[in-house]
Amino acid sequence: MTEQKSSNEMWGGRFASGPDAIMEEINASIGFDRKLYAQDIRGSLAHAAMLAETGIITAEDRDKITDGLNAILAEIDSRKFVFSRKLEDIHMNIEARLAELIGPAAGRLHTARSRNDQVAVDFRLWVKDELSRTAAALKKLIEALLARAEEHAATVMPGFTHLQTAQPVTFGHHCMAYVEMFGRDLSRVRDAIERSDESPLGAAALAGTGFPIDRHMTANALGFREPTRNSLDSVSDRDYALEFLSLAAICATHLSRFAEEIVIWSTPQFNFIRLSDAFSTGSSIMPQKKNPDAAELVRAKTGRITGSLVALLTVMKGLPLSYSKDMQEDKEAVFDAAGTLELALAAMTGMVSDLTVNTASMKKAAGSGYSTATDLADWLVRELGMPFREAHHVTGRAVALAESRKCDLAKLPLEELRSIHPSINEAVFGFLTVDKSVRSRKSFGGTAPEQVRSQIRYWKKRIAKA
């Protein structure tokens, strides 16, 4: 006779009580959505005030609900509140505790709303709050970059294409490139706040409600511009979460690019910068090592944030209107990405302020790889009226000659330059140094120190208003 397996054996050790335990495990969200407690209570306070104002509940019940919710907020803030997995989520945990505190009046709070619009308004409020925190963190990073750019507006370094020395630039100009990137990130944050500034509260389960509610009142009380305009979309929309993850992924990519440069610049081969011990670690076996671990971790965390974006896009891609339980998977991705981005922004701000610039190494490297070759070509065009394509060819021959002589362009004898083109004169040597090169790039947005300082002034004014 075949021995029958017990339910415990069938379901495994973790789910000792069988299918009910599995359902509880997959269904419960209180482990992570408890982060929404403050927003949930804010939403309920606004809803209760509106219900009383419209005559749907009495002022007495409103006052009981208000006192009870404020008591629960104090309990959670002081870590005295006991969360229950059996109550599934933050909404039911708070509602159950409210019933314990104030009795039957608690049951009237949920009039004219559903958990669908309740979670939608809670999550929107949380994302809006996080966007504001992201904006503040970006401003701090931009301000740190502006300070370093101003300090090094005339510090010469090599500019690269294909990670090969291209033309001399200044370190200030390089810092300002990241100001532009993070400035765009800040702009995306502001845009996202504007687009998410609509309240879904009052959409109820999916079709609105027959109660005479005032959605404009609750929207105003919660700091939204206006209520959403379609109840189906209100409860099924997660664009605000996707947009947060999208801008976070773009911002993290910018952080990662800068982190990669910090890693490269801090190597002995480059020796452009040095991070203090505050943002470095040593090796467990090699005592001479100083590793830029903070930059490496910023670079790595980009993968987590991008992964969160892809995960939520995949969750949402096949959902019919309106609400589906799949959307419970939205919060962990956003919470994790938000925390990761906050940490990465803080770390990068710290590194920007902390790093020491080796100006001598930068300047030496700026002159390598015949970086002023373009300046020679430009001089031939400007002074001799030579077509640029011909000037390009003449300059290429000059570079080949310098390579064969193992010297810089500025060290080639005049007679040898004239052997390439007889019209070249000694005035050319005034344009072949890295300092002259960067000072000559005066076009708007160029690397000339005066242009860099001009852009710094512009961004200081812009950030002050942001």
> What number of CA atoms fall less than 13 Å from residue 262's CA on the CB side?
33
SS3 breakdown of the chain: % helix, strand, coil, rounded to 5? 70, 5, 25
DSSP H helices, 196-238, are 215-221, 231-236
Q: Which residues are catalytic?
A: 162, 283
3-state secondary structure of 384: helix
- Alpha-carbon torsion angle 345, 348, 353, 355, nearest 10: 180
Q: Is the preceding omega at residue 6 within 30 degrees of 0, hence cis?
A: no
Cβ neighbours of 135 (radius 10 Å): 18
**How many angstroms separate the CA atoms of 20 and 8, rounded?**
12
Q: Where are the beta strands (DSSP E) in 322-422?
A: 356-357
Q: What are the tokens at 301?
A: 């965390």
278 Cβ neighbours under 8 A, 6+ residues apart: 350, 354
With 0-12 / 13-18 / 19 or more C-beta atoms within 10 angstroms meaning exposed / middle / buried, residue 59 is exposed
Q: Say which amino acid occupies 319.
A: L
Whether the CB-CB separation of 30 and 88 falls below 8 Å is answered with: yes
Residues in the chain: 466
Whether the CB-CB separation of 449 and 154 falls below 8 Å is answered with: yes
